[in-house]
């Protein structure tokens, strides 16, 4: 059996090598839905980070008490509670953002990333490792969201975070902020990541 | 008459215009994962539709009877502890997400037991995908939409009843099935094509989904057009049927559309 | 002892304990945050009201004097097609005098419902302001109805005749320019305004709420 990954390894793995969106293909629903603009994407990334961190740490604290056939129930309960807290928090302090994100914040509950991390890492390893894993994965998720949101917002509206980047003469590619644009952007970026990964594989095999 | 118009418009809106997969992006994980073969896709679509309807029924019932302020059961129980007036303001909607996810988990468990008993071959072919329906965003999304139309409306008379909620759930599930079957048909053909290695798998599925999503955008405005045409009372059929609020009769259907 | 251990409820002690803990923490969150959320919901509409009744100069004057508009929400019942529809109306009162009404009205747009706040003068025959609360129109085309360039056409328009959105350019005083490529969205705005004004006028004629200055 290989040694369990250390906290630092977990953290670094989560950012690019085991990126939840591009490599594990988890959590695609919010990735497509909220990446219309950077602000919404970053809010979603922050919310997922909070829930992932909380759920991982709590699960890791009680990992020795978990019964195998009840653990999914406990994961679900924990995640649902944290998501409710985040949702109420956003409704209180960022009301317009909460309204535009709409039903996608509660959908974090069924976001496969969080249950997968609880199952794979938090229920087996210590609190520090679980915390590092959560931070790495959320950073990776945030990076993925940022990449897609940047493409969609810049091409679709010429703005970035609400600030004008492209000149006014840019004909807005409105399709990018509509659903098809989300599918195209994610599909093409996924293809690009796969291509880069295959070149790195070839380089590794040659050397 | 109005009620049936509403139900009809909710149905086509959930199934076609605001398709769960192509407009709201829910249910993407099984959409990419299970859409390789048409028969598996049909099975998955039907299972999801079944679960979504049961889950919608459970969540509507619990929301209306227990969670919203002034709900019958919760104010009855609270009436033993606090005054009547206070009992009517108890708002349990903060528990709604937890309640919904457990309702969904129970529905999936129920459907799993049902399929294992009556369709054992189908159960075997599903494998691990059946319990995974719990994490299908589409089901929770349907429950959340129902909640926002029951608990989130300003005017209690506008709150959705059981009929509208079940229509949304069932037709949303049907829309999901339609999407996944279309995708699986296309993917079966794609197996014979020469796709660049980096695009194989999820990437090409997403690009194809984007094209189909563009096609589905063509449905936009269908429900509002239908609603306007029927509500303005400017349609009469050739028989003596006259809609209750139309003063004049315009004899040709086309006239309503060439405004 | 073994039978006790195999009892499901005993095995689920962790779940029950967690349920209690989470339940109480959620109750705490509810108590802490729900006043703020309620306030957010109300302010969302109320903050827009002064801007819909007063023009820029009057707004600045109000700010300088440190005064504020008193806003009275009312609900107006309208019977339409054997159905009762409620309109949420806000009466804006400045220094004891009714300075205008703000009507919250919604209707079918091109894609989905459009929700509007219409500012009207005290006698309901002139539009003083327009704000789009919610819309799901096509980005880049229909959602231009939120832009000031489109909305300012409605300011100071008379409501004695129904408003019409014209594709070719407004010629008469009851016409406004429709957005290029978003004719249906523009027409929906006009029809929502026309319907709201017509129904509120009819309802107020039947049961008049004070249109006269209030003490």
Question: Taking 60 as the threshold, does the pLDDT of residue B248 lie above it?
Answer: no
Please tell me the predicted confidence (pLDDT) of residue A166: 84
Please, which pLDDT band fits residue C91 given cuts at 50, 70 and 90? confident
By Cβ distance, the residue of B155, B224, B245 closest to C108 is B224
Q: Does some domain include residue A2?
A: no
Rounded Cα distance, C76 and C125, in Å: 18
Please tell me the predicted confidence (pLDDT) of residue B245: 46
Q: Which two tokens stand for residue A145?
A: 């969201």
How far away is chain C from the Cα of A66, in angstroms, using its nearest Cα? 8
Q: Does B94 touch chain C (CB under 8 A)?
A: yes
A179, closest residue in chain B (CA to CA) = B23
Please tell me the predicted confidence (pLDDT) of residue C28: 92
Please tell me the predicted confidence (pLDDT) of residue A207: 63
DSSP letter assigned to residue B67: I
Please tell me the predicted confidence (pLDDT) of residue B246: 46
The residue ranking higher by pLDDT, A73 or B158, is A73
Please, which pLDDT band fits residue B237 given cuts at 50, 70 and 90? very low
The residue ranking higher by pLDDT, C190 or A162, is C190
For residue range C5-40, list pLDDT tens digits in order: 566 676 778 888 889 999 999 999 989 998 898 888
Question: Taking 90 as the threshold, does the pLDDT of residue B166 lie above it?
Answer: yes
How far away is chain A from the Cα of B212, in angstroms, using its nearest Cα? 8
Q: Does A87 touch chain B (CB under 8 A)?
A: yes
Q: Which two tokens stand for residue B170?
A: 């069932």
Domain count, chain A: 1
How does the average pLDDT of chain A come out, rounded?
A: 88
Question: Taking 70 as the threshold, does the pLDDT of residue C178 lie above it?
Answer: yes
Q: Does some domain include residue A159?
A: yes
For chain B, list residues whose CB is within 8 angstroms of any CB belonging to chain A. Answer: 22-29, 32, 94-95, 97-98, 101-102, 105, 134-137, 140-141, 144-145, 148, 196-200, 202-207, 209-211, 213-214, 217
Question: Taking 50 as the threshold, does the pLDDT of residue C161 lie above it?
Answer: yes
Please tell me the predicted confidence (pLDDT) of residue C4: 55
Q: Does some domain include residue A1?
A: no
Please tell me the predicted confidence (pLDDT) of residue C54: 77
**Residues 89..148 of A with a Cβ closer than 8 Å to B: which?**
103, 106-107, 109-110, 112, 115
- Starting at the edge strand that comes first in sequence, how are the strands of the sheet with C113-120 ordered? C70-80, C83-94, C97-108, C113-120, C127-134
Q: In terms of residues, how long is chain A? A: 207
> What domain range is A116 assigned to?
7-206
- With CB atoms and an 8 Å threshold, state whether B224 touches C111: yes
Please tell me the predicted confidence (pLDDT) of residue B92: 85
Name which of B124-138, C94-108, C149-163, C201-215 the model is least confident about.
Answer: C201-215
Please tell me the predicted confidence (pLDDT) of residue A187: 94
**A-chain residues within 8 Å CB-CB of B204?**
187, 191
How does the average pLDDT of chain B come out, rounded?
A: 83
For residue range B109-148, list pLDDT tens digits in order: 888 888 889 888 878 888 788 888 888 999 999 999 999 9
- With CB atoms and an 8 Å threshold, state whether A92 touches C25: no
Q: Does some domain include residue A190?
A: yes
Please tell me the predicted confidence (pLDDT) of residue C209: 61
Name which of B7-21, B156-170, C58-72 the model is least confident about.
Answer: C58-72
Question: Taking 50 as the threshold, does the pLDDT of residue A200 lie above it?
Answer: yes
The residue ranking higher by pLDDT, C212 or A170, is A170
**A-chain residues within 8 Å CB-CB of B197?**
194, 198
Please tell me the predicted confidence (pLDDT) of residue C208: 67
Residue among B2, B5, B10, B3 nearest B146 (CA): B10
**A-chain residues within 8 Å CB-CB of B20?**
none
- With CB atoms and an 8 Å threshold, state whether A110 touches B134: yes
pTM of structure = 0.86
User: Where in chain C are the domains?
Assistant: 52-213
Strands C164-166 and C127-134: unpaired
Please tell me the predicted confidence (pLDDT) of residue B79: 79
Rounded Cα distance, C131 and C189, in Å: 11
What ipTM does the predicted assembly reach? 0.90
Strands C83-94 and C70-80: antiparallel
**Residues 118..157 of B with a Cβ closer than 8 Å to C: which?**
154-155, 157
- With CB atoms and an 8 Å threshold, state whether B202 touches A115: no
Strand partners, C134: C115
For residue range A36-90, list pLDDT tens digits in order: 889 999 999 999 999 999 999 999 988 888 877 788 888 999 999 999 999 999 9
**C-chain residues within 8 Å CB-CB of B227?**
108
Sign of CA dihedral A49, A50, A53, A56: negative
In whole angstroms, how far apart are CA C23 and each of A85, B58, B89, B209? 11, 21, 19, 41
Rounded Cα distance, A188 and A193, in Å: 9
**Angle, CA of B186, B17 and B229, to the nearest 5°:** 140
Q: Does some domain include residue A28?
A: yes
**B-chain residues within 8 Å CB-CB of A101?**
none
Question: Taking 50 as the threshold, does the pLDDT of residue B242 lie above it?
Answer: no
Please, which pLDDT band fits residue B241 given cuts at 50, 70 and 90? very low
C80, closest residue in chain B (CA to CA) = B245
Rounded Cα distance, B169 and A103, in Å: 16
**A-chain residues within 8 Å CB-CB of C12?**
70
Q: What average pLDDT score do residues A139-165 get?
A: 89
For chain A, list residues whose CB is within 8 angstroms of any CB belonging to chain C. Answer: 62, 65-67, 70, 73-74, 77-78, 81, 84-85, 88-89, 91-93, 95, 156, 172, 174, 177-178
Please tell me the predicted confidence (pLDDT) of residue A49: 95
Q: What average pLDDT score do residues C150-158 get?
A: 85
How far away is chain B from the Cα of A161, in angstroms, using its nearest Cα? 23
Percent of chain B with pLDDT over 90: 35
How does the average pLDDT of chain C come out, rounded?
A: 80
- With CB atoms and an 8 Å threshold, state whether A191 touches B26: no
By Cβ distance, the residue of B28, B144, B213 closest to A28 is B28
For residue range B50-103, list pLDDT tens digits in order: 999 999 999 999 999 888 887 888 888 887 887 777 777 778 888 899 999 999
Percent of chain C with pLDDT over 90: 5
By Cβ distance, the residue of B154, B157, B220 closest to C111 is B220
Alpha helices in A102-126 (DSSP H): 112-117
Please tell me the predicted confidence (pLDDT) of residue A183: 94
Please tell me the predicted confidence (pLDDT) of residue C212: 43
Please tell me the predicted confidence (pLDDT) of residue B128: 80
CB C58 within 8 A of CB C68: no
B220, closest residue in chain C (CA to CA) = C111
Please tell me the predicted confidence (pLDDT) of residue C105: 87
Rounded Cα distance, A20 and A42, in Å: 16
By Cβ distance, the residue of C11, C14, C141 closest to A74 is C14
Please tell me the predicted confidence (pLDDT) of residue C63: 75
For residue range B60-75, list pLDDT tens digits in order: 999 998 888 878 888 8
């Amino acid at each position: 059996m290989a040694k369990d990954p250390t906290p630092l390894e977990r953290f670094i793995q989560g950012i690019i090598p085991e990126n939840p969106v591009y490599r594990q293909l988890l959590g695609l629903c919010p990735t497509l839905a909220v990446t219309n603009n950077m602000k919404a994407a970053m809010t979603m990334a922050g919310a997922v980070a909070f829930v992932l961190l909380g759920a991982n740490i709590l699960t890791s604290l009680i990992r020795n008490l978990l019964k195998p056939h009840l653990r999914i129930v406990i994961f679900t309960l924990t995640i649902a509670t944290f998501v409710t807290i985040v949702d109420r928090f956003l409704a209180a302090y960022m009301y317009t953002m909460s309204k535009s994100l709409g039903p996608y914040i509660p959908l974090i509950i069924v976001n496969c990333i969080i249950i997968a991390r609880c199952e794979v890492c938090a229920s087996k390893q210590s609190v520090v490792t679980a915390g590092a894993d959560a931070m790495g994965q959320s950073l990776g998720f945030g990076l993925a969201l940022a990449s897609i949101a940047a493409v969609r917002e810049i091409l679709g509206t010429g703005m970035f975070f609400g600030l004008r980047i492209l000149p006014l003469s840019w004909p807005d590619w409105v399709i990018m902020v509509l659903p098809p644009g989300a599918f195209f952007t994610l599909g093409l970026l996924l293809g690009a990541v796969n291509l880069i990964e295959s070149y790195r594989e070839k380089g590794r095999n040659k050397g | 008459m109005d009620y049936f118009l509403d139900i009809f418009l909710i149905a086509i809106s959930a199934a076609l215009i605001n398709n769960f997969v192509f407009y709201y992006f829910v249910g993407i994980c099984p959409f990419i994962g299970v859409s390789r073969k048409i028969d598996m896709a049909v099975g998955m679509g039907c299972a999801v539709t079944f679960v979504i309807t049961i889950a919608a029924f459970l969540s509507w019932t619990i929301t209306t009877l227990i969670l919203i302020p002034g709900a019958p059961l919760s104010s009855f129980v609270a009436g033993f502890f606090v005054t009547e007036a206070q009992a009517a303001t108890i708002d349990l909607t903060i528990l709604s997400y937890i309640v919904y996810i457990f309702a969904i988990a129970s529905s999936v468990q129920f459907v799993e037991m049902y399929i294992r008993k009556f369709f054992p071959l189908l159960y075997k072919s599903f494998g691990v995908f059946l319990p995974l329906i719990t994490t299908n965003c589409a089901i929770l999304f349907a429950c959340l939409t129902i909640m926002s139309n029951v608990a989130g409306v300003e005017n209690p008379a506008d709150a959705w009843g059981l009929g509208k909620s079940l229509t949304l759930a069932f037709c949303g599930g049907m829309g999901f099935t339609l999407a996944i079957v279309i995708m699986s048909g296309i993917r079966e053909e794609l197996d014979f094509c020469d796709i660049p290695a980096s695009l194989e798998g999820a990437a090409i599925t997403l690009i194809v989904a984007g094209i189909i999503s563009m096609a589905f955008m063509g449905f936009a405005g269908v429900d509002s057009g239908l609603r306007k045409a029927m509500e303005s009372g400017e349609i009469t059929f050739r028989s003596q049927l006259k809609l209750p609020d139309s003063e004049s009769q315009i004899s040709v259907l086309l006239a309503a559309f060439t405004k | 002892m073994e039978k006790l251990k195999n009892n499901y409820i005993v095995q689920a002690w962790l779940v029950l304990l967690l349920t209690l803990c989470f339940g109480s923490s959620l109750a705490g969150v509810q108590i802490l945050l729900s006043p703020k959320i309620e306030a957010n919901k109300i302010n969302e509409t109320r903050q827009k009201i002064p801007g819909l009744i007063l023009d820029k100069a009057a707004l600045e004057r109000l700010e300088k004097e440190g005064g504020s508009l008193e806003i009275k929400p009312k609900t107006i019942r309208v019977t339409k097609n054997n159905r009762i529809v409620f309109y949420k109306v806000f009466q804006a009162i400045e220094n004891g005098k009714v300075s205008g009404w703000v009507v919250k009205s919604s209707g079918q747009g091109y894609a989905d419902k459009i929700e509007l706040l219409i500012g009207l003068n005290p006698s309901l025959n002139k539009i003083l302001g327009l704000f789009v609360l919610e819309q799901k129109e096509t980005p880049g085309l229909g959602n231009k109805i939120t832009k000031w360039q489109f909305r300012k056409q409605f300011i100071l328009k008379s409501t004695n005749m129904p408003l019409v959105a014209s594709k070719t350019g407004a010629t008469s005083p009851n016409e406004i320019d429709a957005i290029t490529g978003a004719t249906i969205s523009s027409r929906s705005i006009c029809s929502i305004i026309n319907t709201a004004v017509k129904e509120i006028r009819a309802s107020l004629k039947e049961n008049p709420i004070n249109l006269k200055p209030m003490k």
